[in-house]
Structure 1
């Protein structure tokens, strides 16, 4: 191994150990949401096999007229603050979201043009936390 490769390996080891021993590394993250009867969300699932403080998830939108009116999805954390926001373009059928790790949040689908809330959906993230 040359010096540069050894340095990269050392830095990567430090980062992984810091995350693992800091209690903020989650393997096999899960996203639980009751999308039965949802006018906007068809399915929500994690898109990566690990997470730190954010779980990246893919939300598939329904083909309903209500979903067609959604222009923004805001993730609101359990504390009531905005955690992340994702814009939706007309005709878009899926969106990548960032959810808070290991807690419950609310997805707020809204029409930014007229300022109306179309739907709110509770989601819970989990997984195998490394301590």
Structure 2
């Protein structure tokens, strides 16, 4: 693997998304190439800085004072809204009742008859030879 092949893979490598043979090739290249090893080191440091900044920002983030009231109002409005139930076009019972059930039973019966006839034919052919 050369530097040009490695560059597009560096971010995935730093994020731990590269596995197997590809990972081995990258590691071998990094041992022999100081330029790419430095690039990986810079990416790792940048990733750590971004993670640290996100944690700091999240810890200091304060929602607006009205956010809680708005959320509670939305939840109350949704609580009063009736839930709509979605039903299939054909209920399960229609598939297995009346004419539909009889039709299915006839098809299954015909299939069983065909299978038995085929088995009898195969057995009679094997006894004849």
Whether the TM-score (by the shorter chain) exceeds 0.5 is no
Larger radius of gyration: 2
TM class, shorter-chain normalised? under 0.3
TM-score (norm 1): 0.18
TM-score (norm 2): 0.19
**Greater per-residue helix proportion:** 2
**Greater per-residue strand proportion:** 1
